[in-house]
Structure 1
């Protein structure tokens, strides 16, 4: 495999790591050429094990025979760009986590029908634009037994570099796809919809009737505004988490983790 020692920011072939925007990486016109950028050795290993195809690696020189040595051995014949830490930080605009970035082919998302057909527990992320929250929500959903995630079109991309890193690569482990009309689409596919919101008519999360549903979709909204009123009004149930000390809400990722644990399929 070619190891290319870079000495300046504009080295040809490195554009994917510093120049391309998220929209350009997604490459809607040519989806087969779309890319994701994966950061840190642990997350790169997860992506490789999930079957992602590597395209190029950017790595601090010291990690080629150190933290990333096993990764380098798995990459095949792709370019590996390397240089000192300061140059790579100047190139990318931030200090690399554990000194390694890998550009990979973007995975193909499942269809809504396929994802729903193999799921009993889904999370719907409605309008969440914070990449850190998206990553944390994916990690919780994967860890707590959810079968898949649906994102509305106004949510941020789960394959955003920061979302991938915060999720610790679980964006590649739990199936997800986009959804246009969550309530209608899920009801047509036999799901009981549950909106997490503070409403006078809400029921408590630990109500045993909720976990008894064979197919259930938990709908989560944005950190500040929460879910739109039409989504809350249209859901089969509105649910709140029992809380103490006058506290009425949690961070959206924390709230989702609590709800996923309570509503998971208990085998």
Structure 2
């Protein structure tokens, strides 16, 4: 059962999981080292608990306790009850949604487990912005994607900002990291997927044409700045572009993922 503990000292060592949340590099190191991730906001905390993630602790202002009391009731973890001013002092920002939870990470599933039974997946290469990764997972979950594979340098889907933007989709949409980045696309082709790379290459065809008639489809998106690497562009089965009006040559990668997923969900 959850235990409620009132804390009025921002230096209390029990609040260590929640310190300096705005320091991205520090947090990435600490969260990996401690095997934890943070969920922010009532809806996201609820979805993490409902997905079965084990909490380490909760940090909440008193007015947010009632809204999560039902899902916290069976949690074997402390809930640190603090003032909103103290929460801001500890975290480094205004926790305007009032609730934070520190949860244990799980081992990442194998690629085979993510792809098992899937007919439409996303493959991300070096998408380094946490907001974009979160938005892509949210788009994918909403538009019929069944799994996501990330190259080793992609941003962490369980980083607080990514989890928040994804609105908990990271808990329901299967995802993992690729071990073999170099041959990832040929490996997908060997598993029966047609890999379609989103690119501005001259030989790219409209995305509707590229995905038409494809049974098992892997949509491939590249980094925010340079797009896909030459290796992945060369090894993709097809190259596709989202047709746009003159004068605009590209979309943000998260927006492009939404368009591509929408088209893929309606492919004939």
TM-score by length of 2: 0.91
- Structure 1 position 130, deviation (Å): 0.3
The answer as to whether partners of 1:127 and 1:222 remain within 8 angstroms in 2 is: yes
Match of 1:70 in 2: 70
Contact 2:126–2:222 (CA under 8 A) maintained in structure 1: yes
Q: Does 1:21 align with 2:27?
A: yes
**Hey, what does 1:30 align to over in structure 2?**
none
CA distance in structure 1 between the aligned counterparts of 2:238 and 2:76, rounded to whole angstroms: 53
| Alpha carbons 1:64, 1:72 under 8 Å: kept | no
Provide the secondary structure at the position in 1 that maps to 2:80.
strand
Question: Against the structure 1 CA distance between its residues 9 and 68, is the aligned structure 2 distance closer, same or farther, given a 3 Å change threshold?
Answer: same
**Distance change >3 Å, CA 50–CA 265, structure 1 → 2:** farther
8 Å Cα contact 2:134/2:166 also seen in 1:
yes
Q: In the alignment, what sits opposite 2:111?
A: 112
Aligned partners of 1:199 and 1:191: how far apart in 2? 21
Q: CA offsets, 1:135-164, max 9 Å, x none?
A: 000000011001100000011111111100
Q: Which residue of 2 aligns with 1:193?
A: 195
Aligned residue for 1:62, secondary structure, equals helix
Please say if residues 223 and 251 of structure 1, whose CA atoms lie closer than 8 Å, have aligned partners that are also in contact: yes
Bigger mean CA deviation after superposition, 150-159 or 103-112: 103-112
Of stretches 224-233 and 138-147 in structure 1, the one that deviates more from structure 2 is 224-233
Q: 2-side partners of 1:202 and 1:55: how far apart? A: 48
Q: How does 1:184-263 map to 2 (within 5 A)?
A: 184-207=186-209, 210-263=211-264
RMSD: 1.8
Q: Which runs of 5+ in 1 are unaligned?
A: 28-32
Q: Distance in 2 between matches of 1:70 and 1:2?
A: 14
Asked if the contact 1:39/1:97 (under 8 Å) is kept, the reply is no
* SS at 2:88 equivalent: helix
Tell me if the contact between 1:121 and 1:265 (Cα under 8 Å) persists in the aligned partners.
no
Cα distance in 1 for residues equivalent to 2:87 and 2:113: 41
User: Where does residue 93 of structure 1 map in the other structure?
Assistant: 92
Report if the CA contact (8 A) 2:141-2:169 is conserved.
yes
TM-score of the superposed pair, with normalisation by structure 1: 0.91
Q: Which runs of 5+ in 2 are unaligned?
A: 21-25
User: Matches of 1:7 and 1:51 in 2, distance apart?
Assistant: 30
Distance 2:134 2:3 in 1: 33
Kindly tell me the number of residue pairs found equivalent between the two proteins.
Answer: 259
2:47 aligned with 1:46: yes
Aligned partner of 1:146 in structure 2 is 145
Quote the residue 1:133 is aligned against.
132
C-alpha displacement of 1:266: 6.0
